[in-house]
Amino acid sequence: MSRDRAIQLLASVLLVASTAVCGSVLPSITNLSQKHSLRYTDVAVEGAPPFVALGTAIGALRGIIVDYLWIKVHLMKQKGLYYEVMADADLITKLQPRFAAVWAFHGHNMAYNISVAHNTSEERWEWVKAGINLVRNKGLRYNPNDLQLHKELAFWLSHKIEGVADDSHLYYKTEFTREWHSLLGEPPYEHEARIVWIKKVADAPETLDQAQRLTPGVTGLVERLRRDLSPYEQRFSFALDKTFLKAHAEWQAARGQSVYARVRGIGRGDDPFFRAFDEIASDPEAQPAWDTLIAHVRKRVLADEYNMDPQLMYEYTRDYGPIDWRTAHAHALYWALKGEQYGENRVAVDDNDVYRIVNIDRAKIHAMQGMARWGRISFDPFSSDLPARLPDPRWIEVIDWYWETISAKHKDTRGPGPDLFMGFHQNFLSSAVRELYRSGETELAQKYLDRLNSLYGMGARLQNPKYDAPLDIFVWREVEGEYEFQPHIAPSDVAAALRYGFRVGIGQGRPEVFQQAVKFANDVTVYFREHEYVKFKTKMGTQRLAALIGQLEDSVRNVFAQLMIDSTVGLLERLAIYNYKNLPDEYRLAVYDDIYPHVLRQFQASELSNVLTIEQVLPAPPGLEEYRRMKATQAAREAEEARQREGRPSATERR
């Protein structure tokens, strides 16, 4: 054998051996990269847009172009040229789709900078949605494991939509709720039932063929819908998409408790489209196929149009709490949890990057806190009223439980991490005890006071008697210290308690809640009336706390009057509270004349006025004329007393 032939043979053997060795270690390398999130996606080409090919063709020149454009957009942003930034930022995302920072920059520019340049809520909302959609539907498809991009999206949802900084925030909240009510409908209230409800979507078939195999009759139902609804194409073009889900949600509301649907005549049978839709949706023989079809369409819309995984939505609802997906706080929690699950392993736990992990955990806690305060949603898709948003105390327990998890996670974290979350927990529970107590939820308030005492009171390593006190005394000590130095916050505390008492205690038939709110208001009033500084007079001869006491003494009347004309609360909810059978007539008498013109104007702008009269929805309370005479006599007497104090002539003497 020649020398050359031997070298060729040896090289061939080495090539085969090297290939075999590389092939044997490849699975372990792949598993490790997936475990530690070292790849953008689980498949190398997954999520790559067509412009990746262009970027690849440009080669090394692409980096120079991207650097130039990135510097340019920052300079334009500093000059306030937000619209001019759009084209260059968009080009960067196409040339460098894995450049997560530019997706965050581009989305923030639309949701924050450009949106506020518009003067109507509708225009602003379109730009806010565009920024959120850009990051959620594109940026995170190309960078599914980027922790910072998840955190940015979670922050926008909590701050821009659920916050109050934007003048149009109420419009954002309404439109967000409307959109997600159309997609998923109204969830059941109980947590276990809500888990089952969202699991149906997670377990739904991926394709229409799979749906047909699972539930024979699905394809026949689709053909029936397409055939029977075709005469109404100008109003409704049938497709298995968001429009179909919206029609289904409206049908459910019309068949349910929607007063506005009845006012409009929807569901009475005189609407041919609704009649055709109702005939199919109400067919008992089609119910199994109908349920499968709705779940399938919801699953596809969530995945295809919102880049959301129904399986994760189910798991987060199961593992964390009664998530209502109609609030943006729920979506903030989803993206924060998803970012932690898929992106945290990409962040080195060192001095430089640990803040990223702390921030994503703060986003989760903030979203949970938001749902504790505003997590109960009531919404009528046929109404133009704002969604009713009330506290959901069940999330207090979730936060208390999750705090233990997050504290264990950050116990050795460098910096303020451990103290940050411990301070939050103590302050949150203390605030929750106060709010629960003044709202009449005394059992829950006592539960969390005991919890505070076990962790930070007598059960702590350094015992603190602060929390070892009866509930009412603890609450009073908390507020007393604040009221002494900041008496101006007392009216806001009382107003918040009474407002909750009216909406939950009266509006939802829980009189004990309302009674506790009134008791709290009375206790605060008595405290200030008997305070040692009440009689103190300033150099100007005025009593420093006199006006405050007068405000507190009229608190029930004032809060009731303000609630009745508050357009941020649905008109139907307010009218239901006003007409509650056990509401004392003295409350109605005290506010009727003040609220009547405001409620009349709102009622006339409402569709309710098409079928009802103002006298039917806002009846005058019995004894109104006598009450008016009494108030007139009282006003005349007070005027006379004031005249005598000031030495002015009476009306008779002037004549």
Amino acid identity of 323? I
Residue 154: pLDDT band with limits 50, 70, 90: very high
Q: Per residue in 530-587, pLDDT tens?
A: 665 545 443 333 344 444 555 556 778 878 888 898 887 888 889 989 998 888 888 8
Phi, psi of 534 (to 5 degrees): -60, -40
Please spell the DSSP secondary structure of 421-460, one letter per residue.
Answer: HHHHHHHHHHHHHHHHHHTT-HHHHHHHHHHHHHHHSTTS
Please spell the DSSP secondary structure of 222-265, one letter per residue.
Answer: HHHHHHHHGGGTTT----SSHHHHHHHHHHHHHHTT-HHHHHHT
Mean pLDDT of 95-124: 87
Q: Which residue has the higher pLDDT, 420 or 130?
A: 130
Coil, strand, or helix at residue 543?
Answer: strand
Q: What is the pLDDT of residue 395?
A: 94
Separation of alpha carbons 634 and 650, rounded Å: 16
HSE value, Cβ hemisphere, 13 Å, CA-based, for 461: 0
Query: Which residues fall within 8 angstroms of residue 282, CB to CB, at 6 or more apart?
Result: 255
Phi, psi of 144 (to 5 degrees): -70, -10
Separation of alpha carbons 636 and 627, rounded Å: 14
With contact defined as beta carbons under 8 Å apart, do 366 and 158 qualify? Answer: yes
With contact defined as beta carbons under 8 Å apart, do 15 and 9 qualify? Answer: no
- Which two tokens mark 243? 């429009």
Min mean pLDDT across 126-130, 199-203, 343-347, 415-419 is at 415-419
Residue whose entry in the numeric block shows the structure tokens 């979506």: 331
pTM for this entry: 0.76
- The pLDDT mean for the chain works out to 81
Q: Residues of 147-183 as b/e, b for ≥16 C-beta within 10 angstroms?
A: bbbbbbbbbbbbbbbbbeebebbebbbbbbbbebbbb
- Which two tokens mark 654? 């002037």
Separation of alpha carbons 571 and 315, rounded Å: 36
| H/E stretch holding 376 | strand 376-378
Q: How many CB atoms lie within 10 A of CB 647?
A: 6
- Which two tokens mark 509? 């038939």
| H/E stretch holding 389 | strand 388-390
- Which two tokens mark 375? 């997590």
Distance spanning both ends of the chain, measured CA to CA: 141
Q: Report the range out of 30-34, 465-469, 558-562 with the highest average pLDDT.
A: 465-469
Write out 608-634 in H/E/C secondary structure: HHHCCCHHHHCCCCCCHHHHHHHHHHH
Q: What is the pLDDT of residue 485?
A: 65
Residue 182: pLDDT band with limits 50, 70, 90: very high
Which whole-number Å values give the CA distances from 622 to 59, 100, 586, in the listed order?
A: 84, 66, 10
Instruction: Return the percentage of the chain with pLDDT > 70, whole number.
Output: 80
| H/E stretch holding 390 | strand 388-390
Separation of alpha carbons 203 and 46, rounded Å: 23
Min mean pLDDT across 75-79, 129-133, 324-328, 587-591 is at 75-79
Q: What is the pLDDT of residue 38?
A: 43
Is a pLDDT exceeding 90 seen at residue 347? no
Interior angle at CA 314, CA 312 and CA 320, nearest 5: 90
Q: What is the pLDDT of residue 388?
A: 79
Q: Per residue in 187-240, pLDDT tens?
A: 988 899 999 999 999 999 999 999 999 999 999 999 999 999 988 888 888 899
Separation of alpha carbons 201 and 292, rounded Å: 9
Q: Per residue in 38-61, pLDDT tens?
A: 444 444 334 444 544 555 455 556
Min mean pLDDT across 466-470, 564-568, 639-643 is at 639-643
Separation of alpha carbons 58 and 172, rounded Å: 42
Q: What is the pLDDT of residue 648?
A: 56
